[in-house]
Amino acid sequence: MTNDPSPNPKEVQAYREDILSGVRSRLRYWLTFSGILIPGAVAVVFAVTWFVRWDRLPVRVTLTTAAERSSYHVFGEALCGGINRQVGRHIASAQTSTGSGENVELVAMHDSTMAMYQGGSVDLPDNVSVVAPLYREVVHVIVRKEVLSKHVERELSYELLRDLLVVQRRRIYAGKQNSGMRLSALEILDHYGFSKQDLDQWETFTEDEPADIVISTTGMFSQKMADRLRANDFVVLSLQADAIAHRWSYFVEHEIPRGFYRDREFGPVPDRPVRTVATTAFLIAPREASAKLVRTCLSVLYKTGITETTKHLDLIQRDEARTYLHGMPVHEAADEFYSPLDVGYLASVMDSIVASKDLTLAVFAGIYLLWNLRSRALQRRRQAETDANRARLDEYVDETIAIESEQINVTDPSRLEHYLDKVTRIKLRALNELTDEGLRGDPAFSIFLLQCANLTNKIQLKIITYAPNQD
């Protein structure tokens, strides 16, 4: 008596159920784990992305100005102080430079967060934008009284400049190289018939040395200009303001009122109204500068004031800013701020609201992203299949062309029937393999079918023509 080698059906069934139960249990585990992991991972990714791209203030803000005690530096320090008070910590500081030319280069190279810039002095690169027009920069032409002892006129002229600079060889200071002040001085000298080469020849000393003639473009609150005129050693000369303003569009006529400055005895300086020209000082920043930083600067300028108690007296007001910004590459956040509805302020409010909801929306954004990626993957797959079918259709077309070429001089009915079979098989293979609906509607597929039909008719006609008589 031998044992039955066949397994027990119940044991086999139990073994199978154990395996299936384990598979189902493991599947449920992975589905549950994936349902938690995938949305969680998407939320983390979007949260990190939101944090990285969240518009926030830089850790450190550098505002490049000009020389110490110049109007740029005085204004820049006041603006930085206002920014620090607004954000509640020290992040902004003013940094000296040679002037507008260097400032534009530093901002373009992202070596400075913001800078002061004299309108018309140099061209702004494509990656630099304007944040705000600040104040008028006035051209001051001052000459020592002792130098003017034999001259009675108080207006700058070619004859006066020639006598002082060419005949008497008096010393002149017209700003540092690469500064907006120097470029303005060159325009003034050019108007009176003198060139840059003339200035380079006359100017043989530094700013700290005493000068007989000074051509300075600066704000009316410049400490350096006030110190020069307080000594009561200089006379402020008038210019041919209307002619100069017509020659250079960034200059406008301006008048320094009598007694705007005071000498050491509190006497009026100048002692009469002085006609001159002025340009505009701008605040510039990189085009991709933080929108929050730009809005903070504009809020300090126009809302809270750049000093603790009063707004800057020379500041161009917000409702006039659009006039000065015409044709300038304005920063996007500043452009919104200057709009009549204050879109910039509304945008900041909306940003605050959206920020509190970003983490919730991150999950939905992640789901949409996954769906979008899947849709694009399917679209790429369909496109790849369509491209492959088009390539296959081209092969079928080439085969039919080859058959048509081969049968041209053939008159043997048996060989013609062979060609007819080949054409039929090619057409059937194409109909079976090329099932893509987009390809079926393609004109190339219709041309292929028409070519097969024409070739079939042609071969059949030749078979009838050259077939032996059946009489």
Length of the chain: 471
Which tokens hold the place of 39?
């949305």
pLDDT at site 179: 87
Q: What is the rounded distance in angstroms from the CA atom of residue 71 to the CA atom of residue 338?
A: 25
| 165: exposed, middle or buried (Cβ count in 10 Å: 0-12, 13-18, 19+) | buried
CB environment 351-361: b (16+ within 10 A), e (fewer):
eeeeeeeeeee
Number of other CB atoms surrounding residue 383 within 10 Å: 11
**How many helices, marked H, and strands, marked E, lie in the chain?**
15, 11
In this structure, what DSSP letter does residue 316 have? P
> What are the start-end ranges of the E strands in 387-431?
none
pTM: 0.61
Task: Report yes or no: 229 and 142 within 8 Å, Cβ to Cβ.
Answer: yes
pLDDT at site 392: 84
Fold of 61-340: D-Maltodextrin-Binding Protein; domain 2 (3.40.190)
Q: What is the rounded distance in angstroms from the CA atom of residue 316 to the CA atom of residue 353?
A: 32
Query: Computed from CA positions of residues 151, 157, 160, 164, in that sequence, does the dihedral angle turn out positive or negative?
Result: positive
Q: What is the rounded distance in angstroms from the CA atom of residue 216 to the CA atom of residue 235?
A: 13
Q: What is the rounded distance in angstroms from the CA atom of residue 58 to the CA atom of residue 84?
A: 12
Q: What is the rounded distance in angstroms from the CA atom of residue 236 to the CA atom of residue 240?
A: 14
Task: Report yes or no: 176 and 207 within 8 Å, Cβ to Cβ.
Answer: yes
pLDDT at site 84: 93
Interstrand relation of 274-286 and 114-118 (parallel, antiparallel or unpaired): antiparallel
104 closest CA partner among 79, 123, 82:
123
Residues linked to residue 215 through DSSP beta bridges, in sequence order: 141
pLDDT at site 234: 92
Q: What is the rounded distance in angstroms from the CA atom of residue 231 to the CA atom of residue 262?
A: 9
254 closest CA partner among 354, 184, 329:
184
pLDDT at site 296: 93
pLDDT at site 222: 85
Q: What is the rounded distance in angstroms from the CA atom of residue 270 to the CA atom of residue 277?
A: 16
Task: Per residue of the chain (471 residues), give pLDDT as tens.
Answer: 445 555 556 565 666 666 766 666 676 666 555 555 566 666 666 666 555 555 678 899 999 999 888 889 989 999 999 999 999 999 999 999 999 999 999 999 999 999 999 998 888 999 999 999 999 999 999 999 988 877 777 899 999 999 988 888 888 888 888 888 999 999 999 999 998 888 877 765 555 667 889 999 998 888 888 888 998 889 999 999 999 999 998 899 999 999 999 988 889 999 999 999 999 999 999 999 999 999 999 999 988 777 655 556 678 988 899 889 988 999 999 998 987 655 555 555 566 555 555 556 666 766 766 777 777 777 778 777 777 888 888 888 888 888 888 888 888 888 888 888 888 888 888 888 777 666 667 787 788 888 888 888 888 888 888 877 544
pLDDT at site 471: 46
